[in-house]
Structure 1
Amino acid sequence: MQLKTNLKIIVLILLTNIFSTCYSQKPPEKFGKISIEAFNNNICPIDSNAHAYFIFDYGNSYFRYADTKISSDDAKSSQKGFQLFFSRHFRIKIVDTEGFSWANIEIPLYHDGDEEKIVKIKAYTYNLENDKIVKIKLEKKDVFIEETNKYWTTQKFAMPSVREGSIIEIEYTIKSDFYFNMRPWYFQKTIPILQSEYHVSIPEYFNYHHTQKGYFPIQREADSNRREITITYHQKAEGTAVKEQTYTNRYNYSENIYHYSAKEIPAFPVEGYLRTKENYLSQIEFELQSTKFPNSLMKYYTTSWEKINDNLLGNISFGKELNNASHLKNDVETLKQLDQTDFLLLNSAFNFIKDKMAWNGYKNKYATSSLSKAYKEGTGNCADINLNLTVLLRELGFDTYPVIISTQENGIIHPAHPSISRFNYVISMVKLGNDTLLMDATDPYSEINLLPIRCLNDKGRIVNNTGGSWINLMDYKPYSIIESFKLDVNNDFSINGIDEMALKGYAAYLKKKIIKKYNGITEYQSSIEKGSNDYKINELEVVGLDSTQEDLKLTLKFVQNNSIEKSNDIAFFKPVYQPFISKNPFKLEKRDYPIEFDYPYNVRQIYTISLPENFTITEIPKPLNICTPDGKMRYIYNITQLGNRISLFIMFSQSKSLFLPEEYQGLKNFYQMIVDKQNELILFKISE
Structure 2
Amino acid sequence: MKFVLRFLIIALALNLSAQSGFNSEGFEVTKQDIELNVFDKDSTANALIIYEKGESYVDRETFLLKSEIKKKLKILNRNGFDKATETIYLYGDNGKHERVKKIKATVYNVENGQITQTQLDKNAIFEEQYDENHTLVKFTFPNIKEGSVIVYSYTLESPYMFKYKSWYFQEDIPKLYSEYRPSIPGNWEYNIKLVGGKKLYTNVSSLRKNCLQVMGAGSSDCGDYIYVMKDIPAFIEEEFMTTKDNYLARIEYELKVFRGFDGRVDNITKTWKSVEGELKTDNDIGRQLKKSSVTKDLLSDTIIAISDPLEKAKAIYEFVQNTYTWDKTFNIFNDVSVKDLVNNKSGNVSEINILLHNLLEANDIDVKPVLLSTRNNGFATRIYPVISDFNYLIVHVTIGEQIYMLDATDDYLSFGQLPIRCLNQYGRLLDFKEGGYWVDINANQMSVMKYRVNLNIDDSEALSGTIKGNKTGYHALRAKRAYFSNPDTYLDSYSNAYPSTQFVDYESETTNKTATEFSEEFKVEQSLENVGGNLYINPFLITFFDKNPFKLQQRTYPIDFGYEDAFLYSVELNVKDYEVIDIPKPINLSLPNKTGTLIFNSSINGDSVILFFKFNFKEAIYDAAYYDSLKSYFATIVDIQKNSLIVLKKKP
Do both proteins adopt the same fold according to a TM-score greater than 0.5, normalized to the shorter chain?
yes
Is 1:560–2:526 an aligned residue pair? yes
Report SS of the residue matched to 1:408: coil
- With over 3 angstroms needed to count, the CA separation of the structure-2 counterparts of 1:436 and 1:671, relative to structure 1, is same
Q: Distance in 1 between matches of 2:243 and 2:478?
A: 20
**3-state DSSP of counterpart to 1:199:** strand
1:252: Cα distance to partner? 0.9
Residue 317 of structure 1: aligned partner = 284
Map 1:368-407; keep pairs closer than 5 Å. 368=335, 370-373=337-340, 376-377=343-344, 379-407=346-374
Q: How does 1:519-534 map to 2 (within 5 A)?
A: 520-534=486-500
Q: 1:637·1:650 contact (CA, 8 Å) conserved in 2?
A: yes
Maintained 8 Å contact 1:93/1:167? yes
Q: In structure 2, what is the equivalent of residue 474 of structure 1? A: 442
Instruction: Name the CA shift for 1:539/1:277 in 2 (closer, same or farther; >3 Å).
Output: same
Name which of 591, 613, 616 aligns with 1:650: 613
- Looking at structure 2, the residues matched to 633 and 392 of structure 1 have their Cα atoms a distance apart, in angstroms, of 41
Question: Which residue of the partner structure matches residue 13 of structure 2?
Answer: none
Partner of 1:79: none
> Is residue 2:477 matched to residue 1:537?
no
1:4 alignment partner in structure 2: none
Asked whether 1:429 is paired with 2:400, we answer: no
Distance 2:437 2:341 in 1: 28
The 1:361/1:122 distance shift into structure 2, 3 A limit, reads: farther
Distance 1:387 1:85, change over 3 A: farther
In the alignment, which residue of structure 2 is the partner of 1:145?
129
Query: Alpha-carbon deviation of 1:191?
Result: 1.0
1:62 aligns with 2:46: no
Q: CA deviation at 1:378?
A: 5.0
- Cα deviation, residue 605, structure 1: 2.2
**Which stretch of the first structure deviates more once superposed, 537-546 or 424-433?**
537-546
Deviation of 1:458 after TM superposition, in Å, equals: 1.1
User: One-letter code of the match for 1:619?
Assistant: D
From 472, 480, 486, the equivalent of 1:512 is 480
Q: Counterparts of 2:126 and 2:488 in 1: how far apart (Å)?
A: 45
Is 1:52 the equivalent of 2:20?
no
1:578 maps onto 2:542 in alignment: yes
**Quick check: 1:124–1:159 contact (8 Å CA) kept in 2?**
no
Is the Cα–Cα contact under 8 Å of residues 114 and 177 in structure 1 kept in the other structure?
no
Change in 2 beyond 3 A, CA 1:172/1:608:
farther
State the identity as a percent. 26
1:155 is matched with which residue: 136, 150, 172? 136
Are residue 205 (structure 1) and residue 187 (structure 2) matched? Answer: yes
Unmatched runs of 5 consecutive residues or more in structure 2: 1-23
CA distance, structure 2, for counterparts of residue 147 and residue 392 of structure 1? 38
Query: Which of 180, 193, 198 matches 2:175?
Result: 193
User: Do the aligned partners of residues 555 and 585 (structure 1) sit closer, same or farther apart at CA in structure 2, a change above 3 Å counting?
Assistant: same
> Counterpart in 1 of 2:602?
639
Q: Which amino acid aligns with 1:644?
A: D
1:324-368 Cα deviation digits (max 9, x unpaired): 444x24563557766445334433433444455544544454233
Give the partner amino acid of 1:494: A
What is the distance in 2 between the residues matched to 1:130 and 1:490? 71
User: TM-score, normalized by length of structure 1?
Assistant: 0.78
Matched, 1:463 2:444: no
Contact 2:503/2:523, CA 8 A, preserved across alignment: yes
Q: Distance in 1 between matches of 2:136 and 2:449?
A: 45
Which residue is equivalent to 2:14? none
1:545–1:210 CA distance, 2 compared to 1 (3 A) = farther
Inter-CA distance 153–433: structure 2 relative to 1 (3 Å threshold): farther
More moved, 312-321 vs 528-537: 312-321
Is the CA contact (8 Å cut-off) linking 2:125 and 2:138 kept in structure 1? no
Q: Which residue of 2 aligns with 1:443?
A: 410
Structure 1 residues 349 and 261 mapped into 2: Cα distance closer, same or farther (>3 Å)?
A: same
Equivalent residue, structure 2, for 1:225? 208
Q: 1:143 to 1:112 in 2, by over 3 A?
A: closer
Q: Distance in 2 between matches of 1:136 and 1:128?
A: 14
The residue matched to 1:350 in structure 2 has which SS? helix
- Cα deviation, residue 641, structure 1: 1.5
Contact 1:302–1:420 (CA<8 Å) still a contact in 2? no
Q: Secondary structure at the match of 1:409?
A: coil
Q: TM-score, normalised by structure 2?
A: 0.82
Q: In structure 1, what is the equivalent of residue 623 of structure 2?
A: 660
Residues 207 and 288 in structure 1, CA contact (< 8 A), matched pair in contact too = yes
CA contact (8 A) 2:537 2:645 kept: yes
1:497 matched to 2:465? The reply is yes
Letter in 1 for 2:467: D
Range with greater deviation from structure 2 (108-117 or 647-656):
108-117
Measured on the aligned residues, the alpha-carbon RMSD in Å equals: 3.8
1:245 aligns to what? none
Residues 525 and 677 from structure 1, CA distance in 2 versus in 1: closer, same or farther, beyond 3 angstroms?
closer
Q: How does 1:191-270 map to 2 (within 5 A)?
A: 191-218=173-200, 219-227=202-210, 231=214, 249-270=216-237
Secondary structure in 2 aligned to 1:404? strand
Return closer, same or farther for 1:222/1:351 CA change in 2, 3 Å cut-off: same
Provide the rounded CA distance (Å) in 1 between the counterparts of 2:204 and 2:248: 20
Is the 2:217–2:261 Cα contact (8 Å) retained in structure 1? no
Q: Distance in 2 between matches of 1:39 and 1:47?
A: 17
Q: 2:389 aligns to what SS in structure 1?
A: coil
Q: Alpha carbons of 1:53 and 1:623: their partners in 2 closer, same or farther (altered >3 Å)?
A: same
Cα distance in 2 for partners of 1:352, 1:83 equals 55
Distance, in Å, in 2 between the alignment partners of 1:398 and 1:440 is 16
Alpha-carbon spacing, 1:335–1:532, altered in 2? closer, same or farther (3 Å): same
Instruction: Classify 1:622/1:119 alpha carbon distance in 2 versus 1 (closer, same or farther; 3 Å).
Output: closer
* Partner Cα distance (1:167, 1:136) in 2: 13
Give the conservation status (yes or no) of the 8 Å contact 1:127–1:135: no
Indicate whether 1:173 and 2:136 are aligned: no
CA distance in 2, matches of 1:110, 1:350: 42
Amino acid at match of 1:202: I
**66 and 110 in structure 1: CA distance in 2 versus 1, 3 angstrom threshold:** farther
Q: How does 1:279-290 map to 2 (within 5 A)?
A: 279-290=246-257
Q: Does 1:118 align with 2:85?
A: no
How far 1:138 sits from its partner (Å)? 7.5
Alpha carbons 1:97, 1:163 under 8 Å: kept: no
Q: Distance in 1 between matches of 2:634 and 2:406?
A: 33
Q: Deviations over 1:243-289 (max 9, x none)?
A: xxxxx524211111222122332213444433233333322222222
1:566 and 1:134 mapped to 2: Cα distance? 66
The 2-side partners of 1:138 and 1:353 are apart by 58
Post-superposition offset of 1:204: 0.8
Matches within 5 A, 1:340-359: 340=306, 342-355=309-322, 357-359=324-326
Question: How far apart, CA to CA, are the structure 1 residues paired with 2:331 and 2:86?
Answer: 24
What SS does structure 2 have at the residue aligned with 1:630?
helix
CA distance in 2, matches of 1:355, 1:447: 12
Q: How much has 1:684 moved relative to structure 2?
A: 2.0
- Following superposition, the deviation at residue 128 of structure 1 comes to 5.8
Q: Provide the aligned length of Structure 1 versus Structure 2.
A: 620
1:492-515 Cα shifts (integer Å, max 9, x gaps): 443213222121111111223445
Q: Is the 8 A contact 1:335 1:345 kept in 2?
A: no
Whether 2:579 is the aligned partner of 1:616: answer: yes
Residue 223 of structure 1, CA deviation: 1.7
Work out whether residues 109 and 115 of structure 1, in 8 Å CA contact, stay in contact via their aligned partners in 2: no
Give CA deviations for 1:565-588 in whole Å, capped at 9, x if unaligned.
Answer: 543123322233323345444444
